[in-house]
Structure 1
Amino acid sequence: MAARLVIIGSGETAPTMVRIHRELLGSKGPGPAALIDTPFGFQVNADDLTDKILEYFRDSVGVDLDVVRWRRSDEPVIDRERALALLARAGWVFAGPGSPSYALHQWSDTAVPAALLDVATRGGTLVMGSAAAVTVGRFTVPVYEIYKVGTEPHWLEGLDLLGSLTGIAAAVIPHYDNREGGRHDTRYCYLGEHRLERLEGDLPDGVGVLGVDEHTAVIFDVATRVARVEGVGTLTLRHRGCSTVLPAGESVSFNEMVRVLRGDGGGNTTAANEPVLVEVPQAGESFSLRSEADRLQGAFEACMDAGDADGALAAVLELEDAIHAWSADTVQGDHVDRARAALRGMLVQLGATAVSGMRDERDVVGPVVEVALDARQRARDSRDFATSDAIRDSLAAHGIEVRDTPDGQEWDLRGA
């Protein structure tokens, strides 16, 4: 059995993590795989988030998860004992999005931290993404309180699961390369450089910052004492502003990580277990549904300009696929709405192009409508009714009436 701690910088329920989850679950050892729902337990849509995470792992990863329900530390004692019993049997446990400080408040002074630690120490895999990842270090950033409320930057005591399992003393910062702020610096889990510098100065000697980029996982193998970087971004080991960066595919020993995070200097070699001290790179291309929608919209426009109907239709279908694939991600914000808006705009353009060149209306628009209806049927089959309705409404806006019948979808041109 592989005793592992996995820290995911973001995208833990995104298409980017499917391969990694499958690999980890395929070698998890005995016991059930389970989700613990604490980090988002305060949210009014907590049940919906649970369902989305279960759906992602069932449909995309191919594994059914049990649920460790621990939304509050004052749950009835029988519910708490059931949760702890499930943690005690689990061979793989996942916690993800929500609020780091809320999770800490609900786990502190309970048996949960020891139970989470035990998952890995007995040979299982503990996967902590996004908000949950923030809690695993020696110190924890109260992200919401600082970024949303304006509380002065400060640290909370973390669970230090990382230190207990690896001997690495660090504060864990996911979303390390975030750039949602555009012109405003939202790197380092929305802190930005100014706040991180201030917080870094408050860390005790010997404690550094372990940063994990979005859509990136760091897999700590407790037995071999080696960490491996997987995904699309990098792992950053930072001490007092000096950063050692390891790209995806690289590995590093726990001892080397301890040395760098203590400020003993980065290596000057390219060996996999001796990272190079480098200048922090500029944030790369954001990997998200929004970036996919932007890319496909650009491809669509290029195809339309070139008169490439097949290429334009391929971009429409690929965007519909992307919307479905990313629909289970719990931290997309308004990206789904933006992608649907892009899809509607592409359909409108296709419709306008078909109308402008038609003689026999049904013959001209028919192939375009059939592609749109095929995308709509796929959306309906996957219960993505918002996308299905958006396609129908876009067609209706251009005089194409769609009817659902027992025999399937039918369409007519209004006034034809």
Structure 2
Amino acid sequence: MFSGPGSPSYALGRWNTLRLGEILRERVSRGYGVTVMASAAACTVGFAALPVYEIYKAGHPPEWLTGLDLMGTLGLRVAVIPHYDNTEGGTHDTRFCYLGEPRLTALEEKLPDGSAVLGIDEHTAVIVDLHTSLVRVWGRGTTTIRRQGFSAPVFGGTTLALEQLRGMVKGTRPAAVPSSRQPAEETGDAAHRAGREAATLQEAVAAAELSFSTAQQTRDATRMADVVVELESVIAAWSADMEEDQGGEWARTVLHGLIRRLAGAAGRGLSEPERTLGRIVTPLLELRTRLRTEGAYELADAVHEAVAAGGVRVRDSTEGSEWRWEGEADDQQAGSPAEA
């Protein structure tokens, strides 16, 4: 059985009328035949479905529809998003099946605990063998398990046990997945080295996101800032080698997202501005300095705007930069100077 491109919401409406969802769930639970759901049809197979046309083309607020939940019969409580790495938008962020980062973040907040987004890149398939309980990622792209803003990539050519994928979705298994393109020991700095040695810009960005998430989980603000700076250098070098943009705008959109996450981490330490917030704001200001030194003024301004949105005020002088948190009047304290 095959279903492909079209409108997920229209398909769900028709299929529910025909009780096709019940038939398909029984088919999958029995392990009968081969069921292929591609493109828009893939949006329907999770417990939550993406009404992509209504959100992207008609401008409706981001919301989930009730999906067929074929993946639920496999013990996978996921919302499936195909075209995960789409870059057709040029200057617009069309990743995540044309959602972009802000709308995906808004939708992700509506997912219940114990669930995740299962993103599938273009030219990529996730093949579940119901008889062997093995999952294979096949094609030139990546499958991504995204939980609460943290992403774990599973590269093409990887085969893993269905139980391992269930654990990744629930957050009870490690995010690192062995593969021929990313060895199991490749975490932290090793993952970032893979970014610098990546064959494609997409692989470099994926490795940077993984390294950034690892640093965020360990609250290593300095490492998070380093990843941002180094990814900016990778993007600049890549753009200089290419006659056309070929993904540069998309990569820069990811970079902006990492900066927002780095700045957002500062907002979670507001109860202890000097001890906790300072650990993040100082590396952010150092990052801003390095970006300005390298001529990346747009990104430097983005850092400034991000910390300002979190209640941090920065004063530049010939001697350097000082910051002050203005979230609560009683807690206003100046941080240590950072080189401007």
1:354-373 correspondence runs (5 A): none
Cα shift at 1:264 = 3.0
Q: Retained in 1: the 8 A contact 2:31–2:131?
A: no
Q: Retained in 2: the 8 A contact 1:232–1:248?
A: yes
Q: Retained in 1: the 8 A contact 2:158–2:179?
A: no
| Alignment deviations for residues 192-239 of structure 1 (CA, whole Å, 9 cap, x no partner) | 111111110110001100000001111011122111011111111111
| Alignment deviations for residues 31-76 of structure 1 (CA, whole Å, 9 cap, x no partner) | xxxxxxxxxxxxxxxxxxxxxxxxxxxxxxxxxxxxxxxxxxxxxx
Q: Which amino acid aligns with 2:92?
A: H
Work out which of the residue numbers 28, 36, 42 in structure 2 matches 1:127. 36
Distance 1:269 1:257, change over 3 A: closer
Structure 2: unaligned runs, 5 residues or longer: 196-200, 205-241, 243-340
The 4+ residue runs of structure 1 with deviation greater than 4 A are: 274-282
Indicate the structure whose relative CO is greater, using CA pairs within 8 Å and at least 6 residues apart: 1
Distance 2:67 2:177 in 1: 33
Distance 1:96 1:173, change over 3 A: same
Work out which of the residue numbers 151, 157, 167 in structure 1 matches 2:75. 167
Matched, 1:224 2:132: yes
Q: Retained in 2: the 8 A contact 1:171–1:210?
A: yes
1:385-404 correspondence runs (5 A): none
Q: Retained in 1: the 8 A contact 2:77–2:114?
A: yes
Question: Which SS does the other structure have where 2:202 is aligned?
Answer: coil
Deviates more, 1:146-155 or 1:219-228: 219-228
1:200-279 correspondence runs (5 A): 200-264=108-172, 266-268=174-176, 270=178
State the partner residue of 2:56. Answer: 147
Q: Retained in 2: the 8 A contact 1:177–1:188?
A: yes
State the partner residue of 1:178. Answer: 86
Distance 2:170 2:60 in 1: 28
Q: Retained in 1: the 8 A contact 2:124–2:138?
A: yes
Distance 2:21 2:6 in 1: 17
Say what the alpha-carbon RMSD is for the aligned residues: 2.9
State the partner residue of 2:7. Answer: 99
1:33-44 correspondence runs (5 A): none
| Alignment deviations for residues 161-220 of structure 1 (CA, whole Å, 9 cap, x no partner) | 1111x1111000000000000121100000011111111011000110000000111101
Q: Which amino acid aligns with 1:196?
A: L
Q: Retained in 2: the 8 A contact 1:179–1:283?
A: no
Matched, 1:198 2:106: yes
State the partner residue of 2:270. Answer: none
Deviates more, 1:116-125 or 1:172-181: 116-125
Q: Retained in 1: the 8 A contact 2:116–2:146?
A: yes
State the partner residue of 2:202. Answer: 283
1:370-385 correspondence runs (5 A): none
Q: Retained in 2: the 8 A contact 1:173–1:188?
A: yes
Instruction: Give the count of matched residue pairs.
Output: 194
Question: Which SS does the other structure have where 1:144 is aligned?
Answer: helix
Q: Retained in 2: the 8 A contact 1:236–1:243?
A: yes
Distance 1:284 1:253, change over 3 A: same
Distance 1:202 1:163 in 2: 18
Distance 1:123 1:130 in 2: 22
Work out which of the residue numbers 77, 102, 110 in structure 1 matches 2:18. 110
- Largest Rg, 1 or 2: 1
1:42-53 correspondence runs (5 A): none
Q: Which amino acid aligns with 1:139?
A: A
Work out which of the residue numbers 33, 36, 45 in structure 2 matches 1:136. 45
| Alignment deviations for residues 298-354 of structure 1 (CA, whole Å, 9 cap, x no partner) | 9xxxxxxxxxxxxxxxxxxxxxxxxxxxxxxxxxxxxxxxxxxxxxxxxxxxxxxxx
Q: Retained in 2: the 8 A contact 1:141–1:154?
A: yes
Cα shift at 1:254 = 1.7
Question: Which SS does the other structure have where 1:125 is aligned?
Answer: coil
Q: Retained in 2: the 8 A contact 1:244–1:266?
A: no
Distance 1:129 1:163 in 2: 18
Structure 1: unaligned runs, 5 residues or longer: 1-92, 286-297, 299-416
State the partner residue of 1:83. Answer: none
Question: Which SS does the other structure have where 1:255 is aligned?
Answer: helix
Distance 1:262 1:269, change over 3 A: closer
Distance 1:199 1:226, change over 3 A: same
TM-score scaled by structure 2?
Answer: 0.52
State the partner residue of 2:239. Answer: none
Distance 1:114 1:215 in 2: 29
Distance 1:185 1:283, change over 3 A: farther
Q: Retained in 1: the 8 A contact 2:77–2:169?
A: yes
Work out which of the residue numbers 156, 165, 169 in structure 1 matches 2:65. 156
Distance 1:148 1:263 in 2: 33
